[in-house]
Structure 1
Amino acid sequence: QLALQDTGGLQILVNLLDTGEERCMTGSLKLLRELCQSVQMRQTVVDLGGLQHMVMILDSGVQQLKALAAVAIANAAQFRRARRTVRKHNGIKKLVKMLSCVSNSASLKEDQEKDGEVAYYGVLALWSLSKSSKNKKEIYKAGGIPLLGRLLRSPNGNMLIP
């Protein structure tokens, strides 16, 4: 991991998020998702502007990209500056919006299952971000509380445990 950072590989991964090419972004997010589990790596990703790119990806129409970005945000948002960065770039509103696409019906189609997976990762990211009282207020303002309550009543048991 440190070799990746020292050789500029981390900067390349962050830059790939801005390409608009789905395959490049997917590969980069998969790597960043894992790298952000390390304290030093997550701080470097934030320093390089990676979180801003991840928040922008939450607007993507591609469900897989949204899910990967949400997981990477959840892993990266373990320290104050990262949580603040996500809030300042409207990431909380975008994550709450991801929750609204889940249906309450017991019979889930394939598309609904993907929406449920995206919502699950959105919940995971919101959980990481909720360590800040300002972020909790932002989640409330964005309408996240009723949506989280609806997910608790969802027939999908995976939603209950982030």
Structure 2
Amino acid sequence: MIGPELAAVSGFALKITDDLVDELSRPQWALLCGLVAAAAALASVTTGVRPDLYLGLVLGNAVAGKLDEISHLVAAAIIALGVLIMRTEVTPLILLVITVLATLDEVIHPVEPTGLRPVLKIGAVVTWALGILDDVTALAVIAFDLGYHAAELLTGAIMCSNPIRA
């Protein structure tokens, strides 16, 4: 089962994309990382992860106003076009659930005191327990989020070790 691992790579690359622009002042690398995030997402879909995961993440971030950089828009377009080209089945209920979870995750994050962004992770477990998400996709949601958090930790370490960013 390589789909969840690819989802982790996608989450990691997506957060690095964000941080290259917002925190590290290296926007020239953001587009490349956005492409890596999209490629890993599409590769995970070919291994059994539902495309609803990535389409829902894109839609949730769009609703929350988080598609605010060219690298985000390019990655989102590649994912959407890739899913259309692959003609992968999308289930409206799963797409709606992931979209709502992703939107809540983004909206609640600024006020959530622990910084752990629990909505997606808890939502994945609950929807899996209810039989909405399959095993592979539920694990991919959690893996995506863990990859995202790993990138946050890396960026934090870089910023602490190099307080003067050029």
TM-score range normalised by the length of the shorter chain? 0.3 to 0.5
Higher relative CO (Cα under 8 Å, sequence separation at least 6) belongs to: 2
Task: Tell me which protein shows more helix as a share of its residues.
Answer: 2
